[in-house]
Amino acid sequence: MSMSDPLGDMLARIKNAQRAKKSDVVSPASRLRENVLEVLKREGYIAGYEKTNVRPGIDELHIQLKYYEGSAVITEIYRVSTPGRRVYSSVKDLPRVYNGLGISIISTPMGVMSDNEARKANVGGEVLCQVF
């Protein structure tokens, strides 16, 4: 059975693993998921990730979660643009999460990037998710 929202599934796995105080979580691999994880790693929300080959044609992402003084670094992570309702934003209207304390992850023509990087590049796009 195919999955209707692969990115939403990965975000739910991360949220559930952090609530259960797990050190890492496994998710099926895709390019969009890798790009989102790269932004999360650059912004300091996860410790890292690695792509492993399970069998020919099937890859998995092993995501190392990050904790600070016993509590999860990611307190909120949720999907904004869903398969049934796409949310696009121009560079002027990019959302600020908790007045700049969190980030929005944007899919732009220049690649997947955080809202701050998109403002610097002066480009808008699809708002994938928000993290705080």
Element (H, E) at 97: none
- Whether the pLDDT of residue 2 is over 90: the answer is no
DSSP 82: B
Q: Would you place residue 116 in the very low, low, confident or very high pLDDT band (cuts 50, 70, 90)?
A: very high
Q: Of 1-5, 19-23, 60-64, 101-105, where does mean pLDDT reach its minimum?
A: 1-5
The alpha carbon of 85 is separated from its chain's Cα centroid by a whole number of angstroms, namely 18
pLDDT at 3: 83
SS3 for 26-65 is EEECCHHHHHHHHHHHHHCCEEEEEEEEEECCEEEEEEEE
DSSP 96: P
Kind of pairing between the strands at 103-108 and 77-79: unpaired
pLDDT at 67: 97
Kind of pairing between the strands at 58-65 and 46-55: antiparallel
Instruction: Quick: pLDDT tens for 7-61.
Output: 999 999 999 999 999 999 999 999 999 999 999 999 999 999 999 999 999 999 9
